[in-house]
Amino acid sequence: MARKRLPMRKVKEILRLKLDQRLSHRQVARALGVSAGEVGKISKMAEKVGLEWANVACLDEAELDKRLYGREHGAASTRQLPDYSAVHAEYQKKGLTLALLHVEYLESNPGGLQYTQFCEHYRRWLKARKLSMHQVHRAGEKLFTDFSGKKPTIVDPITGEVTEVELFVAVMGASSYTFSRACQTQKVADWIDCHVLAFEFIGGLPEMVIPDQLRSAVSVPCRYEPVIQCRQRFKPARFRWQPSLDPQTRQ
């Protein structure tokens, strides 16, 4: 008599505990009420077909069944899942949205995942990767500054002329208190002027100002010792004291 297979829900949980939580066979077996041999068998099957938890998290039960046992269960199993590593890389580019990436996916995979499932699988993929960088900011410590990647426009109410402008943004690290200002260019003069107005808006000076690697701020990019544009081009003049009266005529 053939041995009854575990439900795919439990198989997926076994893979989560093994591949994501890195538990031993015995720990997984005790947690799920299965034998350690069954855990080892499923782990080897996943290893054989090259499955990692980042991939498994995106699969529904029918798709996981197909990957592990080589069988199709319904129309959903025939759908080609997107390469979410490539989707994520494209999504970081300016102007791209998940809706546009979904359209591109359907062009090469007609009958593929609908938009809701496309986004849900992407969310699971991100969660499985656990991408996070926790930063701790002290109040008043850091002010992050940069020009926005997208240029807003100003419309002349009389002539209707549309003019592109630069958008300067400054954000306090701890509170996310934000200042923004439209200016004509990204030149150093505008860059400095925007900072002066940002300090006036905030009502004080932070301990440090952290700009991005734009040309207005950094003339020589470097991980360890970048050359700051303002420091290079606007060197303070030496102060020379001159008495207003000749020493011999002083009272």
Return the pLDDT at 197.
94
Q: Are the C-beta atoms of 209 and 197 separated by less than 8 Å?
A: no
Return the pLDDT at 220.
65
Return the pLDDT at 93.
82
Return the pLDDT at 4.
65
Return the pLDDT at 180.
93
Return the pLDDT at 222.
62
Residue numbers of the chain with a pLDDT score lower than 50 = 1-2, 72-77, 231-251
Return the pLDDT at 179.
95
Q: Are the C-beta atoms of 60 and 66 separated by less than 8 Å?
A: no
Q: Where are the beta strands (DSSP E) in 49-155?
A: 142-147, 153-155
Q: Find, among 53, 25, 62, the residue nearest to 124 by Cα.
A: 53
3-state secondary structure of 162: strand
Q: Find, among 173, 226, 216, 228, the residue nearest to 192 by Cα.
A: 216
Q: Locate all alpha helices (DSSP H) within 33-114, ordered by sequence.
A: 36-48, 53-56, 61-69, 84-91, 98-108
Listed by start position, the domains of the chain span 1-75, 79-129, 142-233
251 vs 230: CA distance, rounded Å: 45
Q: State the virtual CA torsion across 239, 240, 245, 247 in degrees, nearest 10.
A: 130
Kindly give, in sequence order, each residue whose CB lies less than 8 Å from that of residue 20, ignoring residues fewer than 6 positions away. 53, 57, 128
| pTM of the model as a whole | 0.42
User: Backbone phi, then psi, for 107, in 5-degree steps?
Assistant: -65, -35
Rg, C-alpha atoms of the chain: 30
Six-digit token string for 120: 């849900």
